[in-house]
Structure formats: C-alpha cells, structure tokens
Amino acid sequence: ALAGFNRGAAMLEQYQFVEAAKAFEAVLAEMPDWTAARFNLGLAYLNLQEDAGAKDSIDKARAAFEAVLAARPNHLPASFCLGMLYQHLGDNGKAAEFFGKVHAVDAADPFAAYKYAEALLALEKKDEGTALLEAIVAKDPGFVSGVYRLAQQYQRGGQREKAKGLFERFGALKATELTGGTFTVDRPYGSAGKYYFALGADELPIPAAKPAGTRIVFSPEVRQQPGFPIAGAWPCTGGTIGVAGLAAGDLD
C-alpha cells in the first residue's frame, strides 16, 4: 500500500492524473481509512475536470473530499480543494464558504486569502474582496495574481491612478516571475499554494500496538556478575583483540 501511495503521488507530480487515481483507488482498497490517500485521490479526480467524463470525475472528487472532512472536519486541504471544485462549477457561495473556512484558520496563507477574495468578488461583495486583496498585496508586494486582481478592482472603481501603478508593477513582476519570489495563482495542480498539493505518507494509519506486558527495567549500575571473569585482551591470528568489557542483554 505504501509503494502504491508513493507511485500515485509521483503520478500527480507528473500530471498523470488518470494513473494517479488508479494508484490511490488500489491503495484505499487495502487501507480505506488512510486520510492522505483519500485526499490525494480527490486531488487526482479534481484535475481531470477538463477531460472526457469530467462530471463523473468531479463527483468522485467531491465524494473523496467530503469523506475526508467527515472523518476530520478541520482538514484544511480538503476544505480548500472543495472551494476549488465549487468555484469550477460556478457555485461561488459554496466556494466562499470553504475558502473562508481555510482563511479563518490560516490567515497568513496568501493563496487561501486570494481564492477567498475571488469568491467574494464573484458574489458582488466588493468591499470585502478588495480589502482582502489590499491586505495580500501589502503583505507580499510580489504576489503577481494579487497585484493584477487588485489593479482590476481599482480600475473598475474609478481609482485610475492606483490601478495604473499596480498594472505597471504587474508587468515588471511577470517579466521576472521565473526567477522566484513572485506567485501566480492558477487552476492546474500545484498552482494554488500548499493546500493544493499531494499529501505525504506521514499519516499512515498503522494499527495500534498491542498493550505491552510488565516491562523489565535493568539496573543502570555496572556490576560484575559472580562466575564471570573480567574480560581482558586475548591473542588471535595476526595480533591481539582488546575489548574493554562484556555486554549482555535480553532480546525478546
């Protein structure tokens, strides 16, 4: 199951979403309670939204994320991805609900804040959305998508000078984007921050160990046992072996 999990994660990183989904389906057949595997399965299906049978894939993605949240209501990656899913479907009310949930817990994440702002603006909540974009750009002046979207909002609101300055900054940022330090938010896998990446295998649901019996605690004091001579050097072919002591232990 662990090998299948790692293979599925590798397929996600290579944008081979059909193969990734197959790998995680097989993993969950063996270990149905593995939260990380179910989330990654949903992520694979969500990224099949443009392929043939997209509606079926979206339904499967939603079922996977909802199952994760049923088991772990505060699972932020699942909430974020449901926001992405509902935004794709045009249900901005639901998208805002899920993005807002993530933003409320992790206000420092600019991607969650940006997606929340997008959903608010789509709902005509212009003041809230614009204020959120302003906070994002103030905190990270190199956030490309935030700069551009805020410039658009200023332009639509008649604040042309503010818009002009931001559009100029956007052009400069885009020119240097590949050198690092700036960010563009997009829909494809891995393009919307940390909550839109595959989870690692660290949440492996290992069965609980059986309760141990009475533990034997050995004395930390060094004592010579009766009948055991003190070990010294002894000769061997080609030289002498000198081990300063004898170690004894019990392995169950």
**In this predicted structure, which of 22-36, 68-82, 110-124, 229-243 has the lowest mean pLDDT?**
229-243
Tell me if 153 sits within 8 A of 133, measured CB to CB: yes
Tell me if 24 sits within 8 A of 37, measured CB to CB: yes
The pTM assigned to this predicted structure is 0.74
Hunting for tokens 């008649």 — which residue is that?
158
Instruction: Report d(CA 199, CA 77) in Å as an integer.
Output: 9
Percent of the chain residues past pLDDT 90, beyond the cut: 51
Share the mean pLDDT of the chain.
Answer: 84
pLDDT band for 71, please (50, 70, 90 cuts): very high
pLDDT band for 186, please (50, 70, 90 cuts): confident
78-133 confidence digits (pLDDT tens)? 999 999 999 999 999 999 999 999 999 999 999 999 999 999 999 999 999 999 99
